[in-house]
Structure 1
Amino acid sequence: MIVVIGLVVAFILIAVFSNRRTRTCRWREYPDSDESRWVCVFCGAETSAPRGKPPRICFRPEK
């Protein structure tokens, strides 16, 4: 019973603290020299950011 309660609490915490703006983003890194090119597989948005650090906001073009 305690395991079930723990799982419910874990899912609630994930739902509360997850970043809703990038929930559907799936970033793929294409490394260059100091910065990498990041492409979202879900919407096709592209940006550059430091290596190993995916963008924390969504760059999805507005329709």
Structure 2
Amino acid sequence: MKEQVEKALADIRPALQADGGDIELIDVVDGIVQVRLQGACAGCPMSQLTLTNGVERHL
């Protein structure tokens, strides 16, 4: 599962970096993925949408 998550993050990372942000995988435990939004994404009001439509959709 961790490799699948890393691939999903790699797919969306360029879009996040283009907006001055990034995403880091913290851990995957029992199917629960923990990530950290960085840079401009950390305080962005659209961060939940990024997670839902970006990361979760790829998984």
More helix by share: 2
Fold match by TM threshold 0.5: no
Structure with bigger RCO (C-alpha 8 Å, 6+ apart): 2
TM-score by length of 2: 0.32
TM-score by length of 1: 0.30
